[in-house]
Amino acid sequence: MKQAFGDYEPSEFRDGFSREPRRATLAGTFLLLVVSMITGCSSVPRAPDRADDRGAALARAAAQLIGTPYHFGSADAEGFDCSGLVVYVHQRMGLEVPRSANEQRRAAQPVPLDAVLPGDLVFFRTRFHIGSRIDHVGIYTGSGRFIHAPRSGGTVSYASLTEGYYRKHLVSAGRFWE
């Protein structure tokens, strides 16, 4: 014998809900899923384009040379001066750049200092020069750091753009990889 419970039969209350609210719950769940997917996708950072990858590859190539001795006038794996390091790393990526830091600055595509990306060159005036002669260059790696061949007796190393000596002498940035 069936017993009525209100206006519904007990079989309609298997898990405590009637069929109409179950459909509404299912539709609400689906809507929540769609909205989550749309908003989730909008917060995903943009994928770097191919050019950004090339700059990052330049920065990684420079990082592999950390500890290589400084040799004035050299641009090979035995040792580097600052502009020789830039030439060596760019040549490994199939890019030709001028030999001196000053020529590299003139030939590079200018990049605003607040928009530098890994692989960009950062240019410095470390000595007093009449005019705007650049005498030092490094390869930006991100997070306010760059790699360079600093001086005789030193090795290829990281330095900071955000504090100290190089921040005071930073003049401009440029790019060859785009």
Does residue 148 carry a catalytic annotation? yes
The tokens for 110 are 């200018």
How distant, in Å, are the alpha carbons of 82, 159, 169, 170 from that of 164? 19, 9, 9, 11
Catalytic residue among 90, 129, 148, 169: 148
Catalytic residue among 82, 90, 129, 169: 82
The tokens for 122 are 């950062």
Q: Is residue 147 within 8 Å of 158, Cβ to Cβ?
A: yes
Catalytic residue among 41, 129, 136, 169: 136
Greatest CA separation for the chain: 107
Does residue 136 carry a catalytic annotation? yes
The residues, any chain, with a CB within 8 Å of residue 87's CB and separated by 6 or more, are: 75, 97, 99
Q: Which residues are catalytic?
A: 82, 136, 148
